[in-house]
Amino acid sequence: MTKALVTGISGFVGSHMAEFLLERDIEVVGTIRMRSRMDHIKNLKDVQLVECELRDPFSVEKLIQEAKPDLIFHLAAQSFVPTSWNSPMDTIYNNIAGQVNIMEAVRHINLDCKIQVACSSEQYGHVEPDEVPIKETNPLRPLSPYAVSKVAQDYLGYQYYKSYGLHIIPTRTFNHTGPRRGENFVTSNFAKQIAEIEKGKKPPILYVGNLQAKRDFTDVRDVVRAYHLALEKGEPGTTYNIASGTCYTIQEMLNLLLSFSSIQIEIQEDPARLRPSDVEILLGDYTKFHERTGWKPEIPFDQTMKDLLDYWRARV
């Protein structure tokens, strides 16, 4: 039986990844931390949870030694861009150290396994108008400490492949969303505000940041399918874009959410939601991944957003 290790299993992507693997009879071990919220995985049966601080090399080596996974999905990270401006070193250290500890452990114990690393379209950062849709060959011009940490994770994957032959595949995933998306992220934040307004829990004012930014959204359920395929069919040491190939302004995404609700809502800009520098446009070209694996996104964006709004309607 194939065994997979999912770091950050209690998180948004981690919980969907675990469900996907269990449905395919893959044994799942997942890492959690002492303060992890368990809501997303409390109904998952047959998952082995291990408390592990990925910054600590000894705990990580013990984890890998005992679990001996065939596949590693390295999803754990500080993934919220604004937090990385408030505590840049914490984001950079957390995201880089966790990955180095995993790769070092795999190398020390000489484990034959495949490792997917969750990298990000944020790595592209500033993109010139004639560079979209963005290919993997585009220059990286990161605009946040988070983006820099993901550039490092991506290049560390390449370096460990070249230096030690580790089977590593960094995936540069564009924005992804769906049920369980953390409430700080824009799609979930707006959906939650709408659900709260509908229930009368909040006055009918929806607070927003920069509505002009353009993002390429993929459903998280398509994304975890891509991560599995990346390890099944991807070429080691190679980075792939995971994207939908379509982009929307944040305003358009908001309009779509509002179209699912009959309530009148006033939109107000909250200056605290604006960033020191925002990535203007992320629109991905996923041809390289499609040609290698056959993957393409299947869940339409309005279905994803409906599911997300219904998720919040059931919870607020």
* Site for ligand GDD, rule CB under 6 A: 79, 81, 120-122, 174-175, 184-186, 189, 208-211, 213, 215, 250, 273, 275, 278, 282
Q: How far is the CB of 17 from ligand GDD (least distance, A)?
A: 15
Q: How far is the CB of 68 from ligand GDD (least distance, A)?
A: 29
Question: Of 136 and 278, which CB lies nearer to ligand GDD in the complex structure?
Answer: 278
Q: How far is the CB of 171 from ligand GDD (least distance, A)?
A: 11
Q: How far is the CB of 278 from ligand GDD (least distance, A)?
A: 5
Residue whose entry in the numeric block shows the structure tokens 């934040």: 189
Question: Of 49 and 299, which CB lies nearer to ligand GDD in the complex structure?
Answer: 299
Q: How far is the CB of 2 from ligand GDD (least distance, A)?
A: 27
- Give the number of other Cβ atoms within 10 Å of residue 185's Cβ: 17
Distance CA 294, CA 155 (A): 25
Distance CA 64, CA 214 (A): 39
- Give the number of other Cβ atoms within 10 Å of residue 305's Cβ: 23
Q: Tell me if 14 sits within 8 A of 30, measured CB to CB.
A: yes
* Amino acid found at 225: R
Closest CA to 183 of 174, 172, 191, 171: 191
Pairing of strands 114-120, 167-173: parallel
H-type helices in 87-185, by residue range? 88-108, 145-164
Closest CA to 223 of 28, 2, 14: 14
Q: How far is the CB of 200 from ligand GDD (least distance, A)?
A: 21
Question: Of 66 and 269, which CB lies nearer to ligand GDD in the complex structure?
Answer: 269
Question: Of 79 and 293, which CB lies nearer to ligand GDD in the complex structure?
Answer: 79
